[in-house]
């Protein structure tokens, strides 16, 4: 991950700025002459900010929000475009419009600005090869011209785009434009690596037309009937100087009026920053169409203010924007609510896969590590997520501290030292690569992360030796393996517990059961990696360390092999992580099953265990309970939101309370991690060997379902599992890629071993 061979010179287009203010976009251009035949022309462009590049007036390619989001302190991507067929004899023009983007714009819940720098920059390199073999380079230097007097008067990826159409500059990015009034740029510097694009392209995707609503309080609101991350393009007719405003939001309030209140997390008033998603537009005369250049919003509804004409739905289009990860998985079943849940999961993934995996497309847009850790398996069943996530993991590794600590938001965007090494969050650097290895079989992913994860374990070894002054009464030699210092979110969003209460408690005393369990789990993972990579001594050393942590956990949190808690998460963790012995696991799962029944099959787990609970219940024989939890339509439950018309996954199980008041983000994929269970257990498609080099197909029918079908396009080809229950008979149709072996386990415990092709099985049920 060093600097790329192509050199880049960065220029700064803004002569003077006020760092705390939002700024106009910068428009840049460079003219040059071509006077002989060319063989090829390759353009490379990047920016610190977000840019749209042009060559002779045409957009460079279909991508948007280029060059994407990386930790700019360390690196930035560049985009390559072949412009051979766009080159003309005579004058040619390279141009770009440059905005704040992630580099200088509002980031995180606090909407902090200037996290990476105060001045935007652009770099370009055009290599022209002539037919006679000579090469000419056109690079960014002081000869480039710029202006800040274009129509985009303020821009921020998260909060606002302010446009004055009266200031349009027709032809500014084409040949023949007079730029005499523009100023010259100045040279800038950048110390990070400039790398080829690693992630998937960010593209404009599905388009939607709205229904026009007049709310009870008389406002005009557009309902696009799908929550998404994207932009609204509009056509309007009016008089020059008339100002309109579009406000993007996720939901209506309990009275049916437009609201943004749900974007302020309860108890976050002291840290919440600007929460707006506003598009301000000053009209020029006549008919005009505008598509935002920089603003991307999380929304379903759009409030229109001061619209100068009758609101016609045909004049508005919402366009979803997300990284172009190929769709490889599908799931359908006989329960339409579950089918809608699957669609909601897909839409939350799309909305939060915009070059990095984020928590929500509205309030924070941060790369929270636990969110993608719990959702990673689902993401891989639904999409080819390898390239997207490897790019993000590269930023994760670059942000490791010298002491081995890791952030829990990536890119960290200037977060301080407190925002590091959170148990169950920062461990994602270990968990996500292991999941990618299982799906894609690429050992190189483990090779890349091994040393950073090993340093993280060593950091935790030292941290576990430190004492928390608030736990002075906790004694015993085993305490040197119990992590009791640092900031840890713990079992986040556990039903019945407010988020801000977690936060305040975690500032002083972490949940040491969570921290110690994750300490153990990551050590075991590193031991597993060491074994796969042939590191024998490391494997032995980490196995010994893991056993010491396991004994400490058992002494402190699992006395006599028993869980002494009413919290469901305390039953899940020791079983799924192997902290309990085999016989103990059976008893713990029996108790967990009883608690799920007592809780009327409602969700009782939080962030760090919900993604495992249905798999555990199913694997220990409680398939009926798993289905009743999945199909529960009461709150808290996955299908409750579906019954309330949700089109994405809510952050909070109580995203709409019993009075209809919306709370928190309505577009978080983490609770949608249940999607993996639908593939792995309901339909039964699982890898027996990494990369699905050998497959297990073990469907587990249950609940009200009479039919289910899942397909997954693995690296070897499509895998299909489709079952039906009819008249007491279970019928299973499967498809296995050629050359791949599969074990088929039927509900009556029959097993079959087959090679590629289509196969059918039946049994009584």
Domain count for the chain, please give it.
3
540 pLDDT more than 60: yes
Tell me how far apart the alpha carbons of residues 168 and 163 are, in angstroms, rounded to a whole number. 9
pLDDT in tens, 25-76: 999 999 999 999 999 999 999 999 999 999 999 999 999 999 999 999 999 9
Do both 299 and 223 map to the same domain?
A: yes
Residues 42 and 182 in one domain: yes
- What's the pLDDT band for 106 if we cut at 50, 70, 90? very high
Residue that terminates a domain, selected from 267, 301, 323: 323
* Region 660-685 average pLDDT: 96
Nearest to 669 by CA among 375, 342, 368: 375
Residues 6+ apart with CB under 8 A from 289: 233, 234, 235, 236
Return the pLDDT at 628: 98
| Residues 139 and 188 placed together within one structural domain of the fold | yes
Residues 44 and 174 in one domain: yes
pLDDT band at 520 (very low <50, low <70, confident <90, very high): very high
Please compute the mean of the pLDDT values over residues 107-134 and round it to a whole number.
94
DSSP lists the bridge partners of residue 730 as 725, 763
- pLDDT average, residue stretch 336-365: 97
pLDDT in tens, 170-179: 999 999 999 9
* pLDDT score recorded for residue 101: 97
Count Cα atoms within 13 angstroms, Cβ side, for 651: 26
CB–CB of 112/413 below 8 Å?
yes
Domain span holding position 701: 694-764
Is residue 262 located within the same domain as residue 181?
Answer: no
pLDDT at 4: 46
> In the prediction, which pLDDT does 499 show?
66
Residue 463: which pLDDT band, with cuts at 50, 70 and 90? very high
Does 663 fall in a domain?
A: no
CA distances from 298 to 254, 337, 661 (A): 20, 24, 19
pLDDT band of residue 1 (cuts 50, 70, 90) is very low
Whether 588 is covered by a domain: the verdict is no
Backbone angles phi, psi at 434, to 5 degrees: -65, -40
User: Rounded to whole angstroms, how far apart are CA atoms 96 and 172?
Assistant: 10
Residue with tokens 């007049």, as numbered in its chain: 214
Of all residues in the chain, the percent with pLDDT exceeding 90 is: 90
177, part of any domain: yes
What pLDDT is recorded for position 269?
Answer: 54
Per-residue pLDDT at 2 exceeds 50? no
At residue 509, the pLDDT reads 82
pLDDT over threshold 80, residue 268: no
Structure tokens at 472: 């002075």
CATH number at residue 285: 2.60.120.260
How confident is the model over 513-518, as a mean pLDDT? 97
Distance CA 172, CA 142 (A): 19
**310-324, 352-366, 492-506, 671-685: least confident range:** 492-506
DSSP 678: I
Reply yes or no on whether the pLDDT at 143 is more than 60: yes
Alpha helices in 97-221 (DSSP H): 101-104
Task: State yes or no: pLDDT of 20 exceeds 90.
Answer: no
Choose one of 323, 339, 366: the last residue of a domain: 323
Do 277 and 184 share a structural domain?
no
Convert 94-107 to b/e letters by CB count within 10 Å (16 or more is b): bbbbbbbbbbbbbb
pLDDT digits (tens, 9 = 90+) for 80-100: 999 999 999 999 999 999 999
pLDDT band at 415 (very low <50, low <70, confident <90, very high): low
pLDDT beyond 60 at 270: no
Query: Does some domain include residue 95?
Result: yes
CATH number, residue 739: 2.60.420.10
Prior bond of 411 cis (ω within 30°) = yes
Asked whether residue 82 is assigned to any structural domain, the reply reads yes
With respect to residue 739, please indicate whether it lies within any of the assigned structural domains.
yes
The verdict on 135 and 283 lying in the same domain is no
**Do 172 and 59 lie in a common domain?**
yes
- 218 and 314 in a single domain? The answer is yes
**3-class DSSP state for residue 765?**
coil
pLDDT band at 494 (very low <50, low <70, confident <90, very high): very high
> Among 144-158, 186-200, 469-483, 614-628, where is mean pLDDT lowest?
469-483
Instruction: Identify the pLDDT of residue 466.
Output: 93
Give 497's pLDDT tier (boundaries 50, 70, 90): confident
Question: According to the model, what pLDDT value does residue 265 have?
Answer: 66
Beta-bridged to residue 202, according to DSSP, are 323
Comparing CA positions, the residue from 119, 152, 131, 140 lying closest to residue 49 is 119
- Over the chain, what is the mean pLDDT? 95
**pLDDT (0 to 100) of residue 500:** 64
Instruction: Decide which of 197 and 503 is more confident.
Output: 197
Asked, for residue 640, whether it belongs to a domain, the answer is no
Give dist(CA 680, CA 612) in Å, integer. Answer: 12
The answer to whether the beta carbons of residues 120 and 47 sit under 8 Å apart is: yes
Contacts of 376 (CB under 8 A, 6+ apart): 385, 389, 431, 432, 435, 436
Domain boundary among 262, 292, 323: 323
Residue 272 has pLDDT above 80, yes or no: no
Whether 500 is in a domain gets the answer: no
Q: Which of 444, 480, 608 is nearest to 556 (CA)?
A: 480
Helices assigned H by DSSP within 5-112: 101-104
| Co-location of 128 and 264 in the same domain | no
Q: How deeply is 377 buried, as exposed, middle or buried, from its count of CB atoms within 10 A (0-12, 13-18, 19+)?
A: buried
Same domain, 18 and 139: yes
Q: Are residues 184 and 250 in the same domain?
A: no
Strands 220-238 and 286-290, sheet pairing? antiparallel
Looking at residue 271, its pLDDT comes to 59
Mean pLDDT for 589-605 is 98
């Amino acid at each position: 991950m060093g600097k790329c061979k192509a050199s880049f010179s960065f220029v700064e287009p803004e002569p003077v700025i006020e760092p705390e203010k939002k700024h106009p976009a910068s428009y840049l251009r460079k003219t040059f002459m071509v006077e002989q035949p060319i063989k090829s022309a390759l353009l490379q462009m990047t920016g610190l900010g977000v840019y749209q590049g042009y060559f002779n007036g045409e957009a460079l390619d279909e991508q948007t929000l280029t060059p994407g989001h990386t930790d700019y302190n360390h690196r930035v991507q560049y985009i390559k475009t072949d412009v051979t067929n766009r080159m003309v004899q005579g004058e040619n023009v390279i141009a770009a419009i440059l905005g704040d983007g992630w580099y200088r714009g509002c980031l995180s819940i606090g909407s902090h600005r200037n996290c990476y720098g105060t001045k935007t920059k652009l770099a370009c390199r055009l290599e022209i090869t002539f037919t006679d073999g000579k090469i000419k380079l056109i690079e960014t230097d002081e000869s480039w011209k710029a202006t800040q007097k274009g129509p985009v008067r303020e821009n921020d990826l998260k909060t606002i785009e302010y446009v004055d159409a009266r200031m349009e500059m027709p032809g500014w990015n084409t040949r023949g434009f007079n730029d005499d009034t523009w100023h010259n740029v100045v040279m800038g510097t950048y110390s990070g690596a400039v790398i080829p694009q690693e992630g998937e392209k960010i593209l404009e995707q599905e388009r939607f037309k709205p229904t026009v609503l007049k709310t009870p309080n008389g406002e005009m609101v557009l309902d696009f009937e799908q929550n998404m991350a994207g932009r609204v393009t509009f056509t309007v007719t009016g008089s020059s100087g008339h100002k309109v405003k579009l406000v993007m939001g996720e939901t209506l309030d309990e009275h049916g009026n437009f609201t943004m209140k749900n974007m302020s997390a309860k108890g976050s008033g002291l840290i919440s920053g600007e929460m707006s998603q506003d598009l301000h537009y000053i009209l020029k005369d006549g008919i005009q169409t505008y598509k935002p250049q920089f603003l991307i919003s999380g929304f379903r509804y759009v409030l229109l203010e001061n619209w100068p004409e009758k609101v016609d739905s045909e004049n508005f289009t919402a366009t979803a924007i997300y990284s172009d990860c190929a769709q490889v998985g599908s799931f359908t079943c006989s329960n339409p609510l579950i089918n809608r849940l699957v669609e909601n999961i897909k839409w939350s993934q799309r909305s939060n896969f915009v070059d990095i995996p984020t928590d929500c497309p509205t309030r924070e847009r941060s790369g929270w590590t636990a969110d993608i850790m719990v959702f990673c398996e689902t993401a891989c069943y639904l999409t080819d997520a390898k390239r997207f996530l490897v790019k993000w993991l590269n930023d994760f590794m670059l942000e490791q501290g010298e002491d081995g600590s890791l952030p829990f938001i990536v890119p960290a965007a200037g977060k301080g030292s407190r925002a590091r090494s959170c148990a169950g969050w920062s461990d994602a650097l270990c968990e996500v690569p292991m999941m990618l290895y299982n799906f894609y079989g690429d050992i190189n992913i483990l090779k890349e992360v091994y040393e950073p994860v090993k340093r993280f374990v060593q950091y935790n070894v030292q941290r576990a030796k430190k004492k928390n002054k608030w736990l002075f009464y906790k004694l015993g030699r085993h305490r040197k393996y119990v992590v009791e210092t640092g900031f840890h979110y713990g079992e986040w969003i556990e039903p019945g517990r407010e988020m801000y209460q977690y936060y305040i408690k975690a500032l002083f005393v972490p949940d040491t059961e969570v921290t110690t369990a994750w300490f153990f789990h990551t050590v075991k993972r590193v031991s597993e990696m060491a074994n796969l990579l042939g590191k024998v001594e490391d494997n032995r050393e980490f196995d010994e360390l893991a056993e010491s942590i396991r004994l400490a956990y058992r002494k402190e949190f699992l006395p006599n092999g028993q869980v002494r808690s009413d919290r469901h998460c305390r039953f899940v963790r020791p079983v799924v992580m192997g902290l309990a012995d085999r016989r103990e696991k059976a008893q713990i799962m029996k108790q967990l099953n009883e608690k799920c029944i007592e809780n009327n099959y409602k969700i009782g787990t939080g962030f760090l265990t919900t993604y495992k609970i249905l798999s555990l219940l199913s694997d220990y024989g409680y398939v009926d309970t798993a289905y009743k939890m999945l199909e529960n339509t009461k709150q808290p439950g996955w299908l409750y939101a579906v019954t309330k018309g949700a089109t994405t996954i809510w952050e909070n199980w109580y995203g709409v309370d019993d009075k209809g008041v919306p709370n928190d983000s309505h577009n978080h994929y983490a609770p949608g991690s249940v999607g993996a269970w639908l593939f792995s257990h309901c339909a039964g498609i699982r890898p027996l060997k990494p990369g699905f080099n050998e497959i297990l197909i073990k469907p587990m029918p249950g609940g009200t379902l009479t039919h289910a079908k899942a397909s997954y396009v693995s690296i070897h080809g499509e895998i299909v599992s489709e079952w039906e229950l009819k008249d007491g008979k279970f019928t299973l149709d499967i498809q296995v890629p050629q050359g791949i072996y599969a074990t088929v386990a039927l509900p009556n415990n029959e097993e079959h071993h087959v090679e590629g092709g289509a196969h059918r099985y039946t049994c009584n049920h």
